[in-house]
Amino acid sequence: MTKTSTEQTQPAPVARSDSSTAALMTRGRWIEVARICLVAFVSLLYWRNIAPIQALWVAVAIGLYPLVKVGLLDLLREHKIGTEIFVTIATGIAIAGGEPLAGAVLMSIILVAEFIADLNTDRARASIKALIGSVPQMATIRQEAGERIVPIGELKVGDVVLVRAGEKMPVDGTVINGNASVNEAAITGESLPVEKQPASEVLAGTVVESGALDIRTDKTGQDTMFARIIALVENAEDQQAPVQKLADRVASWLIPVVFIFLFVVYFVTHDVRKIVTLLIFTSPAELGLATPLVMIAAIARAARNGVLVKGGLYLESLAKVNLLVFDKTGTLTAGRPEVVRVRSLEPSLTEDRISALAAAADRRSGHPLAQAVVAFAAGRALTVPEPAAFEVVQGRGVRATVDGLSVLVGNAKLMSENGIDVPALDTAMAGIAVFLALDGKTVGILELADQVREGAREAIIRLKASGIRKVVMLTGDSQRVALQVAAELGIDDVEAELLPGQKVESIARFQKEGYRVAMVGDGINDAPALARADVGIAMGARGTQAALEAADIALMTDDLGKIVLVRALARRSYRTIQENLFVGVGVVHVLGITAALMGWIGPIQAAILHLGPDILVFLNSVKLLRVRIEDSTSPPLP
């Protein structure tokens, strides 16, 4: 794979991957271009009776050299007869059979096809790195002696790094001073900048658009999120899709079959010219182009949008999925409880007074429910007094003294243990009830619920429209809460109050019923279920190593619309491969072989026509980088 980069010479320079054609034209590729042009030029001179046959032989030998080299290495190392050996034999037969020009043209076409395929494969790979971003090679660190510029290889955990406007983050870390707008599109695919202030986390490879930050280094080098993403993308091609493996297997046994077929034809016709023509149309070169280009282009397109796909295998599997399983908390819901309703049981106490008293008692507690009550009061701009006394009752709530009143805030068990009666709850309540008691009497109820994630219902509707037959929620939450969320989102089936192992059992049962299952979860608690599903999709994996390792596909943000995008991209990729194999290879080659057997075309015409499927497969594959993907808002690659 060819990689090129340029580095700025200013402090904290930024490395930039360049995916332009000019940048990918290395010295070796220019030599390939010169070799192709030489063969084509000498072939033209020979055709016009200007150059002698000996000149054509020399040009053919020069052109065949890289094909013979690669073919022999594949034969010796992998015991595989590839396209290169096939073309070498075909060219030799053409020359021996008195059709040297056809052999030269055939070889030239194969050289052009392989050159274009290699160039655009590397271009797609370079696009991935260019879109994900890169880290600087130098960093400015702050020490007692002052600022100092050092190579990033010298950075250690705990070092304080200064990053100014226009520079990229060299490390994963935590902001300890400063405020800035940071563009995280390289990691998450989101174009809007994110405001960072002290205690915010930042990732290597993201860009400070305005402001400046002092960052405490948490992770460096290969431990950063950027490095892990790059490693995943670079290894993605190793996970070949079944259709890609099938194409490779077909290509491996097709060559011997072709030679047997040609031997039979020659035995019947004794027509070397026809054999040369058939050799041109029985070349398996397009099978080698039909799938890899598509998968690399699709992975690049997904990475551009903050979706990491670990290989073509998972794209094909996602395209065939017909049952989608969601975890609830942190996936379909935000995972953060919010106060959705306040009830006063005393006419003399308003809802605002109930909220303020509960927030006063809870303000020193670190429990998520307590923090939600405090946030609710702050959102309503209520005056929240400081408690005179405060005590946490583990697993129950808090006890405090506020404005001279004895205050209890917590669950029903806290109330009953203190001899306080609680009213019957509304059976339609969607969340958790937190009771407020003053001086031994329940005076208010705050209802808290985990809010449905924005865009979740729309995403499920679009996924069903894409061919998902059934959407299921598997959750450890209560049946009542799960059913209410499912009804709001249009989910078909719910299994609640499940342990992690029971989620795995449910997925196995769906698979036995004949479904192809994708599981969407947070990548940590749901790791066993993600691993058991045909495709595991981790939500919001940008900060967790576990999420990246557990899932086959990782969404770098908590946007459920990304699942719609990658599903549409997977289906488009699979359809593109089918088009390549059926139209670009099947139809064109069947028609060509038929025309050759009927004697309608000769070697020269066949060699020229053979370029058609090569161009067709190539164009059909690389269009995934730019074409608008149906049912998604994915922008094309630049």
374 pLDDT above the threshold of 90: yes
Q: Which pLDDT score, from 0 to 100, does residue 635 have? A: 45
- DSSP state letters, 592-620: HHHHHHTTS--HHHHHHHHHHHHHHHHHH
Instruction: Answer yes or no: is 490 within a domain.
Output: yes
- Cα 570 from Cα 99, distance rounded (Å): 45
Instruction: Answer yes or no: is 454 within a domain.
Output: yes
Are residues 373 and 493 part of one domain?
A: yes
The domain of 328 spans 322-533
Q: Which pLDDT score, from 0 to 100, does residue 6 have? A: 33
Q: Which pLDDT score, from 0 to 100, does residue 47 have? A: 87
Among 182, 204, 223, give the residue marking a domain's end. Answer: 223
Task: Please list, in sequence order, all residues whose beta carbon lies within 8 angstroms of the beta carbon of residue 251, skipping any fewer than 6 positions away.
Answer: 82, 83, 284, 287, 288
Q: Which pLDDT score, from 0 to 100, does residue 451 have? A: 82
- Cα 599 from Cα 443, distance rounded (Å): 97
Among 484, 510, 533, give the residue marking a domain's end. Answer: 533
Total-model pTM: 0.70
Q: Which pLDDT score, from 0 to 100, does residue 552 have? A: 86
Express each pLDDT in 442-468 by its tens digit. Answer: 999 998 888 888 889 999 999 999 999
Q: Which pLDDT score, from 0 to 100, does residue 475 have? A: 87
- DSSP state letters, 615-635: HHHHHHHHGGGTSPPTTS-PP
- In the chain, the number of structural domains is 2
Q: Which pLDDT score, from 0 to 100, does residue 206 have? A: 84
* Residues 275 and 93: beta-carbon distance below 8 Å: yes
632 pLDDT above the threshold of 60: no
Mean pLDDT of 108-137: 68
Instruction: Answer yes or no: is 172 within a domain.
Output: yes
Instruction: Answer yes or no: is 336 within a domain.
Output: yes
Task: Tell me which residue of 611, 622, 524 sits closest to 573, measured CA to CA.
Answer: 622
Q: Where do we find the tokens 């360049």?
A: 18
Mean pLDDT of 200-225: 86
- Cα 434 from Cα 423, distance rounded (Å): 12
297 pLDDT above the threshold of 90: no
Instruction: Answer yes or no: is 269 within a domain.
Output: no
Burial class (CB in 10 A: 0-12, 13-18, 19+), 619: exposed
* Residues 355 and 384: beta-carbon distance below 8 Å: no
Are residues 362 and 497 part of one domain?
A: yes
Q: Where do we find the tokens 């342990």?
A: 499
Express each pLDDT in 220-254 by its tens digit. Answer: 887 777 777 666 666 655 554 454 455 556 556 66
* Active site members: 327
- Cα 196 from Cα 213, distance rounded (Å): 8
Instruction: Answer yes or no: is 236 within a domain.
Output: no
- Cα 537 from Cα 555, distance rounded (Å): 7
Among 200, 223, 246, give the residue marking a domain's end. Answer: 223
Express each pLDDT in 28-51 by its tens digit. Answer: 889 889 998 999 899 889 988 999
Residue count (the chain):
638
Task: Please list, in sequence order, all residues whose beta carbon lies within 8 angstroms of the beta carbon of residue 393, skipping any fewer than 6 positions away.
Answer: 399, 410, 414
CATH code (residue 437): 3.40.1110.10
Instruction: Answer yes or no: is 160 within a domain.
Output: yes
How does residue 302 score in pLDDT terms, banded at 50, 70 and 90? confident
Instruction: Answer yes or no: is 620 within a domain.
Output: no
Express each pLDDT in 534-576 by its tens digit. Answer: 999 988 766 566 666 777 898 888 889 999 999 999 998 888 8
Are residues 476 and 353 part of one domain?
A: yes
Are residues 528 and 412 part of one domain?
A: yes
**Which comes out higher in pLDDT, residue 18 or 401?**
401
CATH code (residue 157): 2.70.150.10
Out of 282-291, 373-382, 460-469, pick the least confident.
282-291
Mean pLDDT of 502-523: 91
427 pLDDT above the threshold of 70: no
Mean pLDDT of 117-137: 64
564-to-60, 331, 455, 567 alpha-carbon distances in Å: 50, 14, 11, 5
Q: Which pLDDT score, from 0 to 100, does residue 401 have? A: 93
Question: What single DSSP character describes residue 360?
Answer: H
